Structure 1
Amino acid sequence: MSRLISKVLSPAVKLWLRSQVNSVETLQFQIEGGDRQLMSGNIPKVTIAAQQVIYQGIALSYIHLVGETIRVNLKEVVRGKPLRLLEPIPVQIETIVHQADLNASMNSPLLAEALSELVMLLLQSGLTADLPVELQSGLQPPIAVQSPAVKIGENYLTLSANLRSTSTQQITLFILRTQLQIAEGQKIRFLQPEWLTHPDAETGQPLPHLETFEIDLGAEVFLQQLTLNHEELICQGQIQVMP
């Protein structure tokens, strides 16, 4: 291994990686390149593997990243300055989210906002006739979403929560089962969503209007594959890491 990598670059990269996440339990990475390339500020390739990562409040069970042709301020790093990216880099990513970790992330800003929007869309649709009239009115009175939970099965996801009226305190169980599909690379869209009357229901009431519901992951994300297995979600694609 290059002495520049082992003595200077590896500690700087490790510090930078840890600064990008809320927490990480296990972090391994490999830097490829010779001293001549590195001294010019060019890193040919970095491979990263991490477990139990929390990023913006979302728990990722496992993540694998590969970035190439990375330009950094290495001359400043040698003088003790923090590592900085000098230009955006495309990074290939594969991540696995276990069901337990996804449930632990339900209160993260991204997922909590998406869940709130989904519930309001469902209530305002008028298709859930079995709900109390007060809850069907949507925003009037306000509805609190409590105890959200996710179950991941083969090719489907079941989302449940308690809907509580903040005026009468009446609680109604909300259960939605759906497949997921990628839309435009940056969005996750529902496919064949249905309303269930109880958690073990084999069939439910189709909700075709919810097929327009999307979770926008941002312009820096481009998903290529999204797989639902038993108790785990697997994503593959590319992210743009900005300086």
Structure 2
Amino acid sequence: MHKENSSPKNPQKIGIITNVLKTALSLWLRSQVSQISQLEVEIQASDRQLLSGRISGVSIFANHAIYQGLHLTQILLKAENIRINIGAVLKGQPLRLLETVPVVGELILKEEDLKASLSSELLSTALNDLLLKLLPEHSPNSKPTAWQKISLANQNLVVSGIHTDVTNPTTIEMSLSLELLSPHELQLSQIQIKQGTAMLTEGNQGHYLDLGSDVDIQELTLIPGKLVCRGGIKVNP
């Protein structure tokens, strides 16, 4: 009798906790972005794990999210072995990670979304830092380039904008081939940088970008109109 009475209660109880966690996780994810058009969250966890604040797995699917000015076309993420502040969540407080979480997934960026991201501080600063790395003699005292256009081809990226110096604004165009050298390193080659009609640099010499040990990229594909990235990253509390 005891088993018959308790069995229907557990699924209901855990269903409530799961719904609370889904809501809390959705709210936390939405708090990380300024805009999102679609968000789906799936939680995989046993009753014991949920009640102890451990989640064995979470799957997240999102469309057209904006994170710190970056327009992300589509995101599919999966994470395992997550520890959260379950006691606080059940009291209606915000969800918080208690440990670093390895996340794997896929990110798709369409060309029009990359163009819309050019005004973001994250992308514009990264491109200006890259320009200085590729062209160290480029005047460090001049104003940063205002990037305006970007196009994608087969493993090739072309970005252009307006460079403003003290006297004369000119166009800058940077073209390069981008390949994955290791899970956290990118190799840049076939680099061409033009200012106005003058070619500032041209050659196949290799340059490398280290993205850090928290990054684990397994695939980086540039095709006309789209960038696809698959791999993992560590999300810190």
- Normalised to the residue count of structure 1, the TM-score between the two structures is 0.80
Equivalent of residue 212 in structure 1, options 207, 215, 218: 207
Report SS of the residue matched to 1:120: helix
Q: Residue 63 of structure 2 aligns with which residue?
A: 51
**After superposition, where does 1:131-210 map in structure 2 within 5 Å?**
138-139=139-140, 142-165=142-165, 167-168=166-167, 170-195=168-193, 206-208=202-204
Query: Conserved in 2, the CA contact under 8 Å of 1:179 and 1:190?
Result: yes
Closer, same or farther in 2 for the Cα pair 1:84/1:32, shift >3 Å? same
**Residue 26 (structure 2) pairs with residue 14 (structure 1):** yes
Query: Conserved in 2, the CA contact under 8 Å of 1:5 and 1:31?
Result: no
**1:42-84 CA deviation, whole Å, 9 max, x = no partner?**
1111100001111222111000000111111212222222212
Closer, same or farther in 2 for the Cα pair 1:44/1:104, shift >3 Å? same
Letter in 2 for 1:175: E
The CA RMSD over aligned residues, in Å, is: 2.6
**1:104-162 CA deviation, whole Å, 9 max, x = no partner?**
1112222222222333345545xxxxxxxxxx6x235x244234311011221111122
Q: Residue 35 of structure 2 aligns with which residue?
A: 23
Query: Conserved in 2, the CA contact under 8 Å of 1:98 and 1:233?
Result: yes
Q: Residue 111 of structure 2 aligns with which residue?
A: 99
Q: Residue 8 of structure 2 aligns with which residue?
A: none
Letter in 1 for 2:219: Q
Letter in 1 for 2:102: P
Q: Residue 61 of structure 1 aligns with which residue?
A: 73
Query: Conserved in 2, the CA contact under 8 Å of 1:177 and 1:194?
Result: yes
Report SS of the residue matched to 1:159: strand
- Alpha-carbon separation, structure 2, partners of 1:37 and 1:122: 50
Closer, same or farther in 2 for the Cα pair 1:179/1:39, shift >3 Å? same
- Alpha-carbon separation, structure 1, partners of 2:43 and 2:136: 52
- Alpha-carbon separation, structure 2, partners of 1:9 and 1:151: 40
Q: Could you tell me the percent identity over the aligned residues?
A: 35
- Alpha-carbon separation, structure 2, partners of 1:182 and 1:17: 29
Closer, same or farther in 2 for the Cα pair 1:180/1:123, shift >3 Å? closer
Report SS of the residue matched to 2:164: strand
Show structure 1 runs of 5+ residues with no match. 126-135
Query: Conserved in 1, the CA contact under 8 Å of 2:193 and 2:201?
Result: yes
Q: Residue 87 of structure 2 aligns with which residue?
A: 75
Query: Conserved in 2, the CA contact under 8 Å of 1:195 and 1:207?
Result: no
Instruction: Give 1:89 shift.
Output: 1.0
Report SS of the residue matched to 1:23: coil
**Residue 231 (structure 2) pairs with residue 230 (structure 1):** no
Q: When the two structures are aligned, how many residues end up with a matched partner?
A: 223
Closer, same or farther in 2 for the Cα pair 1:123/1:3, shift >3 Å? closer
Letter in 1 for 2:190: Q
Q: Residue 132 of structure 1 aligns with which residue?
A: none
- Alpha-carbon separation, structure 2, partners of 1:71 and 1:218: 24
Q: Residue 114 of structure 1 aligns with which residue?
A: 126
Closer, same or farther in 2 for the Cα pair 1:16/1:174, shift >3 Å? same
Report SS of the residue matched to 2:171: strand
Report SS of the residue matched to 1:22: coil
- Alpha-carbon separation, structure 2, partners of 1:228 and 1:39: 43
Report SS of the residue matched to 1:87: coil
